[in-house]
Amino acid sequence: MPDYESRRLTGASFFCDEPAAIIDADIPLERQEEVIRTWQSTVELLHRNLQRSIPKIGYRTHEKGQSLYFTAPIDALYSAIELGELALQVALDEVSSDSIAEHEKTLSKLFDEEARPDLLLLQQEALAHDVPFLWDDDFVSLGYGKASRTWGVDELPEIETLDWNAFKKIPLAIITGTNGKSTTTRLCNQILKVTGHTVGFSSTDGIWAGEKCLDHGDYSGPGGAREVLRNQDIDAAILEVARGGLLRRGLGVAQADVALITNVAEDHLGEYGVNTLKELVEAKFIVRKAVSGAGTLLLNADDPGVVSFADSLVQKIVWYSLDQNNAVIRSQIEAGNPAFFVKDGHICISENGTTTELCSIKEIPITIGGAAKHNVANALAASALCRLLGVSVDCIRDGLTSFDGNRDNPGRGNLRQIGGVSVMVDFAHN
């Protein structure tokens, strides 16, 4: 029997826009078409026999195997994994079709034990009221930050007791890419702090609420996003989203105001069916699903893979570039669309045909007078993101010039004098 591994997709993912059960398998090439076809039909048959709604069923093949998936309600994902694995065993002739009826009894019991109609009702009501809804195995919450409330999963509130006007959204952005995610996240935190916001942010280094570090470690997955957004001290959030979390579990939030992709380079290939740079670009673009409504996708016009993939998209996109003569930037300016770029040593924005200087690069400590090109790019990206969140030019400038990159205290102290030369520690490139 081929090796396989199953998991839950708890948010929009590489494969679909809904929670799903997925099996990553390595089916022999000579049986691939037959096994996948039988697996799909068996998944449908099992749902029908169990009197469950027929899900969306799909698959993706790649050079190292196959990913088989189907959608499932959030109170049925563990049972759905069991169903998917049974269907694969049938397709591989490891379980006879004659014995399916007996297995269906076990599956029926699993679905009944996992079912949470109260959880689904709360989710549906939140959607109807346009209220953010976050859930996991332990907690459920409505709203974000100061306008949120969290309950234990076994202590859900009565729907009729809820004041839906009390649960609100907050300014929210998500950041992904190969390089620059952590530094750009911290820059955005500093800029928003200047405006008076108490910012929560998650990153590969830890999670923060204002000046307080809640925990150190890699919190770039959905768990870190939930931890930040449930903190009642914050009124704005910036979430770093890494490739691993996107592929393993999907997006941690359903909606954001801005989603930024800094760049995409060959990194950690060969996991979860992503084996090429082109596939990695597509994986990073999962974040576009969080801004498919009124949000904005913010992209690096200097990255060829990003530019190429974005050509097929129809949603709202804003571009930035270190080169004022970048072809994408020129086209945006000519069309009267906002664009962010570097010109004459300044970070600039073009809006409605008018160019405004946001900040001199030499004034931004982490750029080392412009020598640290990667941090010029990070500062440009942060400026664009915060501007799209409605931050003024003055606050962007004050935030950039007061940030020196410290990873333990987001606003202080990471430039070091070595032999009379200012040096930035290497984590700023993360």
Secondary structure percentages of the chain, helix, strand, coil, to 5: 40, 25, 35
* Cβ pair 176, 246 in contact under 8 A: yes
Q: Which residues of the chain have pLDDT under 50?
A: 408-430
Kind of pairing, strands 346-351 and 339-343?
Answer: antiparallel
Long-range pairs for 331-340: beta carbons < 8 A, 24 or more residues apart = 338/387, 338/388, 340/380, 340/383, 340/384, 340/387
pLDDT attached to residue 94? 87
List, for residues 25-68, the tens digit of each pLDDT value.
999 888 999 999 999 999 999 999 999 999 999 999 988 889 99
List, for residues 218-259, the tens digit of each pLDDT value.
988 899 999 999 999 999 999 999 888 898 999 999 999 999
pLDDT attached to residue 63? 81
pLDDT attached to residue 96? 82
Give 150: exposed, middle or buried? Use CB within 10 Å, 0-12, 13-18, 19+: middle
CA–CA dist 133, 98 (Å, integer): 42
Give me 206's structure tokens: 């830890």
Kind of pairing, strands 258-261 and 172-176?
Answer: parallel
Give me 95's structure tokens: 């379980």
The CA distances from residue 209 to 172, 241, 245, in Å, are 14, 17, 21
Residue 343: CB atoms within 10 Å:
13
Give me 412's structure tokens: 């202080």
